[in-house]
Structure 1
Amino acid sequence: MARRQHWRPFKGTDVIRALLLAAALSAPALADVPALRKQGTATQLIVGGKPLLILGGELGNSSASSAAYMAPHWPRLKAMHLNTVLAPVAWELIEPREGQYDWSSVDQMVKAARANDLKLVILWFGAWKNSMSTYVPAWVKRDQARFPRAQQPNGQGVDILSAMAPETLAADSRAYAALMAHLKATDGTDNTVVMVQVENEIGMLPVARDHGPLAEAAFRQPVPKQLIDYLVAHRATLVPEMQRMWADRGAPVEGSWEAVFGPGDAAAEVFTAWHYARFADALTAAGKAAYPLPMYVNVALNRPGREPGVGYPSGGPLPQLIDVWKAGAPSLDLIAPDIYFPNFVDIVGRYKRSDNPLFIPEANNADRADGPANAIYAIGKHDAIGFSPFSIESIDGGPNRLADTYAGLEQLAPAILAAQGLGRMSAFKPRALYDETVVAEPASETIGDYRFTVSFADIQKPVITPETGGYGGMIIQTGPEDYLIAGQGITVTFAPVGDGPPLAGIDSAYEGKFVDGRWVAGRLLNGDQTHQGRHIRLAPGPFQIQKIRLYRYR
């Protein structure tokens, strides 16, 4: 390959065509490609013709680079009841010299995951990882004329590749398309890899936008018509921040970035988001042309009151910029939040949208006490495709709360997947504020013909402690009066809705578990365990499942 060959991802090139042809000629007959499919208001990941609920964990950034390091972890992760591992693939490892690919690290990882009956979500560490460009090959790092860095206003470069550089997009897209073609050729019949993350936590530091020559020229241009057209078409549903920036300014349909979005950092961050989104869209399109797995971007969230670039990575797919990313990157299947803040309930509510299914690829560290309840809540309340805390291999040495919860969710997965998007399921956990204050007020929701009210801890002694933040549970309707209630640290009361007798009682309540998909009942709970028929209680501690039947009376 010529060193300075140019490539345009939407037009195709001899390089990409050759990769695709080689993959097609060498690959056996493919299985159905993993895909996203709607069920009611939910979106599910379909693998091998069946929905998959991702009970996942993300590896540390460097772990997957060594097969020897990972060897003892794979069986431990499986023993923790994970079914999916999120693992990085670094550009510098697969293309150490331009145009020469080394697939050994990828092949070893896929082989090990497959041997342990685990699926993979690949994290592409290409041009950017946590804003910086530290995972790019040396031949990219050292050629700053061809691959320019973003610059601060004083002309000082930063260790972040400029999103404005055509050669950077071309090189990143070639490598990414080559990876996808290789996965199609080597894994297309097995579907070990089920989804791919495009880059990692894209964002600009330490200022709100790039000030290099290419960026300055672009900033002097009018706001692209494609972005304006999206805002006009979606004016009624724009996020509040975009409403204030654009609609409250009179919703201009042309003009400079500052004329349309406001002066200073407001316009600068929208400009940054737009160009990162366009880069990610082109990269996604190139990858999907080779192998159309579901693809998403993740986001490093912003702390309240911080300035873009200075206090958080500017321009990523943040809550206030979702509309810009939806306009600029239509090839992406979803935007996924990495959540390290305590206000989990509030954050997931912003990313579960009619145009954006929820997936949590990085849910704080794996040893967090509130992680299991967050998993229950995301899956049961918001029909999440899956949940995955970070540095999962750091806790795979023995029993832990996450493993216990995943074991329960694994049992419930058929019922969860059957109920998603159909109004037959919800979940509950105490809301926490950004300052870690726990708001453990009871929560109510109607499921079927009954309204359930969930209190946290002991309804008779509602004392809020730090542990209360880790309580949570879900309710799944399986028949007209039949429900599964699962979790820990919750007390559930119920009342009928609609016409008919006004009171509700417990016909039966069994503790138990699912074994190979079949319910195995344990004790029939009555008397003290249900407070003489007044409520269902799942005590704090291990994950529990109760199968209950209600009835109505006067």
Structure 2
Amino acid sequence: MTFRSALLAVSALATSLSLAAPALADAPRLERKGDTQQLIVNGKPMLMIGGELSNSASSSAAYMEPHWKRLTEMNVDTVLTPVSWELIEPTEGTFDWSSVDSQIKAARANDLKLVILWFGAWKNSMSTYVPAWVKRDQQRFPRAQLPNGQGVEILSTFGGETLKADQRAYAALMAHLKAVDSKDNTVVMVQVENEIGMLPVARDYSAAANAAYAEPVPAELVNYLVAHKDSLVPGMRRMWLERGARTSGSWDELFGGGDAAAEVFAAWHYARFANQLAQAGKAAYPIPMYVNVALNRPGRIPGEYPSGGPLPHLLDVWKAGGPHLDFLAPDIYFSSFVDIVNGYKRPDNVLFIPEAHNASNPTGAANAFYAIGQLDAIGFSPFSIDSVDQDPGGLKDAYGVLQQLKPYILDAQGTDRMVGFKPRQLYDETLVYEPETREVGPYRFTIAYADIQKPVAHPGADVSQPGSAAAIAAAGGMIIQIGPEEYLVAGQGVTVTFKPLADAAALAGIDSAFEGKFDASGKWVPGRLLNGDQTHQGRHIRLEAGKWQIQRVKLYTYR
């Protein structure tokens, strides 16, 4: 029985809950804790240990029927699931909630939470999830255009009727969620659109877009840049500050012309559209709402990637244009996970990773431990969780460990009592595996990968091969302080040594190191008391490669 299955058995939840919600409970919300934010659901902090469904999975209740139980068996507790405009409003003004209600009912029956992905005007830049009555009426719902006037299958942000229709549908969805789910809070967040951005050029070149581009940069954007002048991201500093930080003028004058200025223009109008959509949705049911992003590959120009989304160099534009959006979230399919997530964890942006490569990617579990342990991520979710046939990175077992640690993680979020670690990879998959240090409580911890030995770099090697580059890339973990000198050390493929911070001449020893687990009631169940060869005669804590585990460790200081 998996840990998630045990939790289900203990909770003995009914599987035939009605969708009616006669009483309004506290809506899910973000709440500040220390130097971060937490997601509060049913009045308690929640950590989303999630998975995102493949794009078309949720359109069929029959397809999904066998997957719900399988997801709980993988120790998933939150499912990111599409709700498409074309299914809920097939005829204008007439709504069909069957695809929404079936998912809510199935999620409740399996003790799962949902994050709704609103596939409205845009999904992966394109506008293929809109209803047929929108697709076919290009006069009322205009398309974005290329410089030669050719339309593309992307709705223009300058279509006033498009915004109104999308707002009506989205607000109706949120009102429905309030009516059927405000008591249970099965749905905890909503993603507004999906991977917004213009292709295959930097911006829309329709007549309306060209007219807007000829107007001065809006004062709201300029005022934001001025107010945040000292904290702008590097990309915006280069575009605006290094060109004189002008406070009025055209897009070309402020941002340098060409694709750079065109992309800022596109970002501003996408952000304004998404903001108005979120504003309409929150008027109906104010739960957290965010926008996700398809990231740009190095060396590509805007339009070769979805131009204008909440990309790392455009975060300031989106923060200025989208005040009703709670945060911006990266979809990460590149190996440079550590570098990317550090750009999205900001004082004004809590970290959530809605798509973290495919669920079968062997580095996914280590990425989850790093994001949650080091950056207080409120959730982690690999893509296409319903399609996993193999689990080379041990995601199921890693998620089982995270489920056990969840109370301690939530308690330590926003404090200096928790850290995470994993080897850093670059975009080109170069592996940076030098030992790292973290300070937690009275000790400095040094984390080494590959058993403190120089690894053999076999780029295509199996994850299970000790010392291979693949095995090192999949290593990671976290340390949580739970007492004055007591710690939970969790992960795999790492060796941890320690030294007192207060006394440079002192040494640290291991009082005790138990392997073990937390049962479904949260009680610690110790296994072996590790010593001798298992701790290198009291010199280190070792979490062997390929086995996600927890060790409960007490340290002491001596001279």
Classify the TM-score, shorter chain.
over 0.9
Indicate the residue corresponding to 1:161 in structure 2. 155
Q: Distance in 2 between matches of 1:227 and 1:543?
A: 47
Match of 2:423 in 1: 430
Shift of residue 499, structure 1, vs aligned partner: 4.3
Mapped partners of 1:445, 1:339: distance in 2: 25
* Alignment of structure 1 residues 403-442 onto 2, 5 Å: 403-442=396-435
In structure 1, how many angstroms separate the alpha carbons of the residues matched to 2:76 and 2:391?
Answer: 14
Query: Which of 317, 320, 325 is equivalent to 2:310?
Result: 317
1:38 aligns with 2:32: yes
Q: Does 1:550 align with 2:543?
A: no
Q: Say if 2:132 is the partner of 1:138.
A: yes
Does structure 2 conserve the Cα–Cα contact (< 8 Å) formed by 1:64 and 1:87? yes
2:222 matched residue in structure 1: 228
1:22 corresponds to which residue? none
Aligned-residue Cα RMSD (Å) equals 1.2
1:112 aligned partner: 106
Residue aligning to 1:475: 479
Pick the aligned partner of 1:328 from 309, 321, 327: 321
Contact kept, 8 Å, 2:510 with 2:538, in 1: the verdict is: yes
In the alignment, what sits opposite 1:497? 501
Q: Distance in 1 between matches of 2:392 and 2:235?
A: 43
Equivalent position of 1:206 in the other structure: 200
Where 2:355 maps in the other structure, the secondary structure is: coil
Q: Displacement, 1:445?
A: 1.1
1:12-66 Cα offsets, whole Å, 9 max, x none, are: xxxxxxxxxxxxxx85111110010111112110111111110000000000000
Aligned equivalents of 1:246 and 1:221: distance in 2? 18
**Counterparts of residues 116-515 of structure 1 (less than 5 Å):** 116-309=110-303, 311-395=304-388, 401-460=394-453, 462-464=455-457, 465=468, 466-499=470-503, 502-515=506-519
User: 1:16: which partner in 2?
Assistant: none
Paired with 2:200 and 2:388, the residues of 1 have a C-alpha distance of 33
Give the deviation of 1:398 after TM superposition.
8.2
Equivalent-residue separation in structure 2 for 1:483 and 1:500 (angstroms): 21
Q: Report the Cα offset of residue 501 of structure 1.
A: 6.1
1:461 CA displacement: 5.4
Once the two structures are superposed, residues 49-105 of structure 1 have per-residue CA deviations (whole angstroms, 9 ceiling, x without a partner) of 111110000000000000000000000001111000000000000000110000011
Aligned partner letter, 1:496:
P
| Aligned match of 1:20 | none
| Residues in 2 aligned to 1:184 and 1:247: alpha-carbon distance in whole angstroms | 44
In the alignment, structure 1 residue 67 sits paired with structure 2 residue 64 = no
Moved more, 112-121 or 497-506: 497-506
1:110 aligned partner, one-letter code: I
Give ranges in structure 2 of 5+ residues lacking alignment. Answer: 1-19, 458-467
Displacement of 1:540 in angstroms is 0.3
Deviation at 1:460, TM superposition (A): 4.4
Structure 1 residue 254: Cα displacement: 0.1
Secondary structure of the residue aligned to 2:106 is: helix
- The residue identity in structure 1 corresponding to 2:377 is A
Q: CA deviation at 1:341?
A: 0.2
CA distance in 1, matches of 2:505, 2:449: 28
1:521 partner amino acid: P
8 Å contact kept, 2:363–2:393 = no
Give the AA of the match of 1:494.
F
What amino acid sits opposite 1:540 in the alignment?
A
Shift of 1:202: 0.1
Question: Which residue, out of 14, 27, 50, partners 1:56?
Answer: 50
CA displacement, residues 495-527 of structure 1 (integer Å, 9 cap, x when unaligned): 000248611111110000001211111110011
SS of 2:352 mapped into structure 1: coil
1:58 and 1:392 in contact (8 A); partners too: yes
Q: 1:407 to 1:444 in 2, by over 3 A?
A: same
Q: 1:398 to 1:317 in 2, by over 3 A?
A: closer
C-alpha deviation, 1:270, in angstroms: 0.2
2:290 match: secondary structure: strand
Contact persistence 1:457–1:539 (CA under 8 A): no
Q: Is the Cα–Cα contact under 8 Å of residues 343 and 433 in structure 1 kept in the other structure?
A: yes
Q: Distance in 2 between matches of 1:320 and 1:459?
A: 37
Give, in angstroms, the shift of residue 531 of structure 1.
0.2
Normalized against structure 2, the TM-score is what? 0.93
Give the aligned residue type for 2:544.
A
Which of 524, 529, 534 is residue 539 of structure 2 equivalent to? 534
**Structure 1: gaps (5+ residues):** 1-25
AA aligned to 1:70 is M
CA contact 1:80–1:396 (8 Å) conserved in 2: no
* Residue identity opposite 1:542 in structure 2: K
Question: CA 1:270–1:551 in 2, change beyond 3 Å: closer, same or farther?
Answer: same
Q: Distance in 2 between matches of 1:399 and 1:504?
A: 36
Cα deviation for residue 374 of structure 1 reads 0.4
